[in-house]
Structure 1
């Protein structure tokens, strides 16, 4: 009888014990404060993503040619098959260790594991170890990373961070690594990274995300590019959502389904795929004595874009507006940065745009927001969404805005580079990213970089 039971045990568990699991789409370290962080990974069944085999049309927007939107996802370019299994997160500093429980990864949540850590020490380096296995008796595979928590509120240490936006899988500029900008951002060793939305594009081919499975594929595919996978293992992320990574262009709660994908499903997938708490769409984080960041949210509570402008028409919603006023007035940080998925100052295109605070469609709330921010000392806006780089200053309030521009040159478009408006202090219709350096409580430096890591514009502001 014992021999029979042993034989059954070997049959049931033998293959599982030798099966390998992978972290092909990387790990994410999100929402880092001075005492907490959220870690996320997706357990994978294949070590590398499917190769890119389709040819692309010429830029901008290098859509794949003759892409079959109905092909099985596991056969698509960039596909990464998920794996049912178990994941555990471990954080180690010089003096402490934190472990999560083993978390089961299942198809219903796209094989994603997520864990929030609390009671961390400020300004402390934590080594990250993520363990994965297929079953209880399986071989364990491990991937590594690291991050540092934010400094305490009385710490005026120097640090830097990076900002990017608008990255379409098929607009990669390195056929092996994906996006050159990520490799150059990593060389700067940023304390954290702000991704301001349009991380993926559900409404651009390769595939068009007409359902939840195709939407999830967009995330695992772009995250598997080596430049992204390596960057985010060592760089904490604050991420925001915009229209294209929720549904389609100008998405809002009144949008019709995109294929079978509803706005509500798009919101759920976004929270599923990112290291953020489900009911925390807007938030603020303190980085030392010098800096406080506000990450606003502009999709979940907005009015219909088509409504006539009025005092009640909103992008932010009343609750978020009240929160913004309260937290800004309470803050004693030297520098206050509002990070917005969409422009607040602009200028934006005069025709065809009615989706952000620099457009006439939201002029009343836009005026209110610019005046609110301009009343504060040392306040600056960093925005995403626009596919060109700029520095602008509102002619009425003096509020300054910095647009990081698209992540690759292939994705840059939408503005005539010769059309320099009075608001513009810098304009460049090319891809790249924004680097920000905090020099204690004395100055802040905004550097625009091209995709090859060269500084193309620099603005230094002495602090009052």
Structure 2
């Protein structure tokens, strides 16, 4: 039987093995033996993996592996249940070509339950099969057995408001703070990039100090071309904290508005923004979605590759429902329509019916709805329109009608233990939705936890809408706070969820940039 090693032991060795300057004999000395893929010591000629690797969209027995190389090459993945790879399996994957910006992915299947999986990615040159990249190593844990604890983190908002990679600050440090908690997986709640927020080389802070960003051509203007959208993802992957995190923590990724443009909606025409030569948002969204799907370790839907909403069963304790509140919405408006129509669409009817059916069929104790926008916080789009569901106090109107329908369905079908996780507003909060304090009362009480930003300006707090009776139980920023507070202030946040394997108690906590817990609550299942 193969000797078992911890993920940490594996990753210590992986740091050595991933260097392109290490030749085959050094890899052997580091314990990397029995590989079906030969290594040749010609680093200048063989393919490279400059932006690391990632895993995602885990199921009971599978996971997506993602990477990017620098030339036409074929992806090769080797995986095993111990870091020495003595009993490894090898998979020949897809070809990375210019059409996909040299990104590639494959799905590992037949994985064991509740076990660490160690993997390494190489790329084989298409013109010369002897030219194979040095390996880049990663690991993840598969869905645990019944009775095992589950821990995951979530957050959103990366590289926004001009706060980019500052080497003097240590880069995007919050990703390292999340990694240190050793989560089973990570939910990125949207705004994975800020395609509409250019990065400048220097930003003067309020105290007179200078924030210095790494800059690239694609991040120096708003994204309009496919190359520029891709460049936003490449920019984030320049950060060593992000790459290390990606190699160790599987991801479930959704999008929001900044993957394209602030507050966008389908069929929008850009007005009063001279930064954009491309005024048709549908064209921008097509390019931006292509880049998102290329760079996210996401399992593409065979019948509809562009579909982003999906669900993941994480065993008897947990199922996660990943929403898309961007693709199917109507135009941002005053949002006060008394009846449902195409104008009031937010999730859209097809996604809403899918969510209701998945919740109805769910047998897991906890049902986590991963939402790219919060429910009861008012988010305006200009002086007259609303970006979110909430439109001000009172009975459900406009987009609120969809959520009222969903909440009524959950109650009428006695679906318990539904928790909402989200980001978007650039501060952390805990909200309790109480029907006794709501204008619409036909729903079970529930919790919503908002977190962020991961690496962006801090804002908030937002005004509450009493339609569904939200109560603020925690807020990371007080009323009257300054807006667009830089990361140097330390007001960057992420959330963590722990589900006890025996009691099924869910503990939800918020952490700050330094990895310090600032709020925590225990939720007992009903």
TM-score tier by shorter-chain length is 0.7 to 0.9
1:406 paired to 2:406:
no
In structure 2, what is the equivalent of residue 142 of structure 1?
135
CA contact 2:378–2:462 (8 Å) conserved in 1 = no
In structure 2, what is the equivalent of residue 26 of structure 1?
52
In structure 2, what is the equivalent of residue 251 of structure 1?
264
**2-structure distance, mates of 1:174, 1:377:** 44
Distance 1:174 1:418, change over 3 A: farther
- The unaligned stretches of length 5 or more in structure 2 are 1-39, 199-219, 271-275, 393-397, 436-442, 478-490
1:369 paired to 2:406:
yes
TM-score normalised by the chain length of structure 2: 0.72
**In the TM superposition, what are the counterparts of 1:324-403 in structure 2 within 5 Å?**
324-346=355-377, 348=379, 354-359=386-391, 361-373=398-410, 375-396=414-435, 397=443, 398-403=445-450
**2-structure distance, mates of 1:322, 1:417:** 30
CA contact 2:152–2:183 (8 Å) conserved in 1 = yes
CA offsets per residue over residues 350-369 of structure 1, 9 Å max, x none? Answer: 96662223345512113223
Offset, 1:346? 3.0
Instruction: Give the count of matched residue pairs.
Output: 409
Give 3-state SS (helix, strand or coil) of 1:160's partner.
strand
Distance 1:96 1:438, change over 3 A: farther
TM-score normalised by the chain length of structure 1: 0.81
- The unaligned stretches of length 5 or more in structure 1 are 1-13, 45-82
Offset, 1:40? 0.9
**2-structure distance, mates of 1:143, 1:122:** 24
Offset, 1:373? 4.5
Distance 1:256 1:268, change over 3 A: farther
**In the TM superposition, what are the counterparts of 1:415-426 in structure 2 within 5 Å?**
415=461, 423-426=471-474
Q: Give the root-mean-square deviation of aligned CA atoms.
A: 2.8
Distance 1:418 1:264, change over 3 A: closer
**1-structure distance, mates of 2:472, 2:365:** 26
Decide which of 489, 497, 502 is 1:436's aligned counterpart.
497
Moved more, 88-97 or 216-225: 88-97
Offset, 1:42? 1.0
Offset, 1:97? 4.0
**In the TM superposition, what are the counterparts of 1:224-235 in structure 2 within 5 Å?**
224-235=238-249
Decide which of 507, 512, 516 is 1:450's aligned counterpart.
512
**1-structure distance, mates of 2:317, 2:41:** 55
**2-structure distance, mates of 1:417, 1:450:** 23
Distance 1:434 1:353, change over 3 A: farther
In structure 2, what is the equivalent of residue 120 of structure 1?
111
In structure 1, what is the equivalent of residue 217 of structure 2?
none
Decide which of 101, 106, 109 is 2:97's aligned counterpart.
106
**In the TM superposition, what are the counterparts of 1:246-285 in structure 2 within 5 Å?**
247-256=260-269, 259-260=277-278, 261-276=283-298, 277=300, 278-285=305-312
Offset, 1:416? 6.8
